């Protein structure tokens, strides 16, 4: 990995030549992403140029977040800022990223909204408003998105308490309870629905947060004309646990178990981008064996997660049996995971610099059995689910979005590939040694619910292929990097080697001190692209941890897709998106 210090990429040169006054600074970061600071006034011009003016444009707003910079010590020549808003763009044509930052001053900062430029900025800006209190001028509906509307303060600001014990005791007197109850009354206009008048013929149906069809606490308010959805307003935040705030209290090492629970079906797949980002900050090179082990475990979790998808997808259109078959096989995956990691759904098994342990004796036998067993099952599942005519009737041509819409709205993963774009981070930006493996990237053509299912069904087979190659090519060598910041250091050395003993002591009790800097790591996770954007201030814990999850972007798009369809189609669409609410709300 190359560490970029003050390096200039062609994209920055181009921006500087076109907007000579707009670029305030170019920031060196640890992850190769060209990062420019832009004057607030020219933000829209720069982003607009990047989106449509430039050749091979950056059409995806991958992430939009903010940083409370007020307590940051090591700024390394970054412009003065109290709050920084960060835009992360991706161009699939260029296979390049660019990061645009805007410095904001004062306690009630504001910045022009870019919703008109990227409609998917809507939720991201609401989240930044919710978490940081940054006001987006011109935003159509700037309400809190994750926290209750009546929350006081903005939690990701540094002065906001991180633990309940730092706040006053919780009280809910009767009058407050009644007030809260009365606020549950549904008023269409509060939700950004048009005023249909008192004699409206529409039914407003509140689907969720407790509903069997919504896969967790997800609420979607529907305006119905008979059974036809006139409008849909998704509401999230019921699963919000403040993982990003927790990251600022935990050491770099002790945050790993929290990442497991972001996409709770993804297990160690969540550890991977986090550990990779920390390793980029620390400059740790992970040994080959650890890389292959990581790939193998990540692919096992892809299988486990896709099996849940497969079953619930069929269940959502009314087939009740497949989900049991899938869960049985997921159980087999978990028994292998358990034999290797000790844990099942949330093993928290990756470490900064490698993995927690070497593979146990006899792991080849377990994995080998599974590799032999599973393909026949996959054929059976295809017959049972994907080739079923009723399922085809329920999913073909349902929940369609075009490739352009998908790129525009930040859809990633199988949902993007179902539209026909062959883009997979494992292939296009190989990480953790994925370039050593042979596998195909399945794509669809129609971008409908059926293709999203079919793409995942094929991905199961490809994951199995990768696992088979891991089995055959597992290298020898250490499972942990030989680096002072690798946590914990190799245990067998601690009793013989004083340096290792000290590092072990420090890294485990205080946590490793990661050098100041910024780095993003993106992986092809189970449900799309999962990214960790880490900012270290040269401390034992993270200054800011931004978790970009795929499902957040996917859910935002639902109203666009579903208007004019029936309720049954909404359920098929939700099933085909494959989201978990923990991944949306974090």
Partner 1 sequence: MDLAIPVILVIVKVLLVIFVVLTFVAYTTLLERRVLGWFQVRLGPNRVGPWGLLQPLADGAKLLLKEEVTVTAANRWIYLVAPLIVVTCALTPFAVIPFAKDLYLDRIFDQAASKFVLNTGVISDLNVGILFVFAVSSLGTYGVLLGGWSSNNKYSLLGGVRAGAQMISYELALSLSVIGVLLLAGTLSLTQIVEAQDSVWKWYVFRQPLGFILFLIAGSAEIGRTPFDLVECENELVAGYQTEYSAMKFGLFYLGEYAHLLFLSALMTTLYFGGWQGPFFPPIVWFLIKTFFFAFVFIWIRATYPRLRYDRVMAFGWKVLLPVGLFNVMVTAFVYTLWLQYRG
Identify the residue among 52, 76, 95, 321 touching partner 1 (CB under 8 A): 321
Task: Name the token pair of 471.
Answer: 């089995």
67 or 385: whose CB is closer to partner 1? 385
Which of 305, 315, 540, 576 touches partner 1 by CB under 8 A? Answer: 315
567 binds partner 1 (CB under 8 A): yes
311 Cβ contact list (under 8 Å, min separation 6): 322, 323, 324, 325, 326, 327
Does the protein bind partner 1 through residue 576 (CB under 8 A)?
Answer: no
Compare residues 531 and 571 and give the one whose CB is closer to partner 1.
571
Cα separation of 324 and 272, whole Å?
A: 29
Pick out residues in 214-233 that bind partner 1 (CB under 8 A).
Answer: 227
Residue 382 CB, nearest distance to partner 1 (Å)? 15
The region that residue 302 occupies, defined by phi over 0 for left and psi between -120 and 50 for alpha, beta otherwise, is alpha
**For the window 323-342, what string marks contact with partner 1 as x by the rule CB under 8 A?**
-xx--x--------------
Residue showing tokens 């040994």? 287
Residue 371 binds partner 1 (CB under 8 A): no
Identity of the residue, 121 or 314, whose beta carbon is nearer to partner 1 in the bound complex: 314
Q: How far is the CB of 117 from partner 1 (least distance, A)?
A: 36
The first and second tokens of residue 210, run together, are: 């407790």
Residues 391-410, one symbol each (x = binds partner 1 by CB under 8 A, - = not), give: x-xx----------------
User: Which range in 149-157, 365-373, 384-392, 508-516 contacts partner 1 by CB under 8 A?
Assistant: 384-392
453 in Cβ contact with 310 (< 8 Å): yes
Q: Is 571 in the site for partner 1 (CB under 8 A)?
A: yes
205: contact with partner 1 by CB under 8 A:
yes
Q: Binding to partner 1 by residue 568, rule CB under 8 A?
A: yes
Q: How far is the CB of 458 from partner 1 (least distance, A)?
A: 20
Q: Does 184 bind partner 1 (CB under 8 A)?
A: no
With CB under 8 A as the contact rule, which of the stretches 36-44, 81-89, 234-242, 564-572 interacts with partner 1? Answer: 564-572
What is the token pair recorded at 416?
A: 């993007």
Q: Shortest Cβ distance from residue 72 to partner 1 (Å)?
A: 47
Candidate ranges 5-13, 95-103, 319-327, 453-461; the one touching partner 1 (CB under 8 A) = 319-327
Query: Closer CB to partner 1, residue 74 or residue 206?
Result: 206
Q: Is 191 helix (H, G, I), strand (E, B) or coil?
A: helix
Between CA 373 and CA 385 the distance in angstroms is 19
Q: Give yes or no for a contact between 573 and 545, defined as CB atoms under 8 angstroms apart.
A: no
The residues, any chain, with a CB within 8 Å of residue 104's CB and separated by 6 or more, are: 40, 81, 82, 83, 84, 85, 110, 111, 134
Question: What is the SS3 assignment for 503?
Answer: helix
Q: How many Å apart are CA 259 and CA 423, to the nearest integer?
A: 25
Q: Considering the rule CB under 8 A, would residue 506 count as an interface residue with partner 1? A: no
CB 330 within 8 A of CB 477: no
Q: Give 230's contacts (C-beta < 8 A, 6+ positions apart).
A: 202, 223, 224, 563, 564
The residue ranges that bind partner 1 (CB under 8 A) are 203, 205-206, 211-213, 227, 314-321, 324-325, 328, 388, 390-391, 393-394, 566-571, 575
């Amino acid at each position: 990995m190359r560490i970029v210090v003050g390096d200039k990429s062609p994209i920055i040169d181009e921006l500087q030549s076109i907007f000579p006054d707009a670029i305030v600074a170019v920031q060196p970061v640890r992850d190769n992403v060209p990062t420019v600071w832009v004057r607030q006034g020219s933000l829209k011009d720069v982003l607009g140029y990047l989106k449509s003016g430039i050749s091979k444009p950056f059409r995806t707003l991958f992430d939009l977040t903010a940083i409370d910079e007020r307590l940051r010590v090591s700024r390394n020549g970054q412009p003065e800022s109290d709050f920084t808003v960060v835009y992360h763009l991706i161009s699939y044509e260029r296979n390049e990223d660019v990061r645009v930052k805007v410095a904001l001053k004062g306690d009630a900062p504001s910045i022009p909204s870019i919703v008109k430029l990227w409609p998917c900025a809507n939720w991201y800006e609401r989240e930044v408003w919710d978490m940081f209190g940054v006001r987006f001028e011109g935003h159509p509906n700037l309400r809190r998105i994750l926290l209750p509307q009546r929350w006081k303060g903005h939690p990701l600001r540094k002065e906001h308490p991180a633990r309940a014990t730092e706040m006053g005791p919780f009280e809910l007197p009767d009058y407050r309870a009644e007030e809260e109850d009365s606020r549950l009354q549904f008023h269409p206009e509060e939700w950004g629905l048009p005023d249909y008048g008192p004699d409206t013929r529409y039914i407003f149906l509140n689907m969720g947060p407790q509903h069997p069809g919504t896969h967790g606490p997800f609420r979607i308010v529907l305006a119905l004309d008979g059974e036809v959805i006139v409008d849909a307003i998704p509401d999230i935040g019921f699963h919000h646990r403040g993982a990003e705030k927790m990251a600022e209290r935990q050491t770099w090492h002790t945050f790993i178990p929290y990442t497991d629970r972001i996409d709770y079906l993804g297990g160690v797949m969540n550890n991977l981008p986090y550990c990779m980002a920390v390793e980029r900050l620390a400059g740790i090179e992970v040994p080959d064996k650890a890389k292959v082990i990581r790939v193998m475990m990540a692919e096992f979790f892809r299988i486990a997660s896709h099996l849940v998808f497969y079953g619930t997808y069929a269940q959502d259109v009314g087939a009740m049996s497949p989900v049991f078959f899938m869960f049985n096989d997921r159980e087999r995956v978990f028994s292998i995971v358990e034999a290797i990691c000790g844990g099942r759904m949330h093993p928290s098994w990756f470490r900064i610099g490698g993995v927690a342990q070497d593979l146990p004796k006899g792991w080849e036998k377990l994995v080998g059995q599974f590799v032999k067993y599973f393909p026949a099952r996959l054929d059976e599942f295809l017959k049972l689910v994907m080739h079923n005519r009723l399922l085809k009737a329920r999913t073909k041509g349902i929940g369609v979005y075009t490739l352009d819409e998908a790129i525009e709205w930040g859809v990633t993963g199988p949902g993007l590939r179902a539209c026909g774009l062959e883009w997979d981070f494992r292939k296009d930006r190989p990480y953790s040694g994925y370039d050593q493996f042979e596998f195909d990237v399945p794509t669809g053509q129609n971008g409908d619910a059926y293709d999203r299912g079919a793409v995942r069904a094929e991905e199961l087979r490809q994951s199995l292929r990768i696992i088979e190659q891991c089995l055959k090519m597992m290298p020898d060598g250490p499972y942990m990097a030989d680096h002072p910041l690798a946590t914990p250091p190799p245990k067998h050395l601690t009793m013989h080697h004083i340096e290792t003993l000290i590092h072990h002591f420090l890294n485990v009790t205080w946590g490793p001190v990661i050098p100041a800097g910024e780095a993003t790591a993106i992986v092809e996770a189970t449900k799309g692209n999962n990214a960790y954007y880490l900012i270290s201030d040269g401390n034992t814990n993270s200054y800011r941890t931004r978790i970009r999850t795929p499902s957040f972007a996917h859910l935002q798009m639902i109203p666009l897709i579903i208007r004019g369809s029936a309720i049954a189609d909404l359920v098929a669409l939700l099933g085909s998106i494959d989201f978990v609410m923990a991944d949306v709300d974090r």
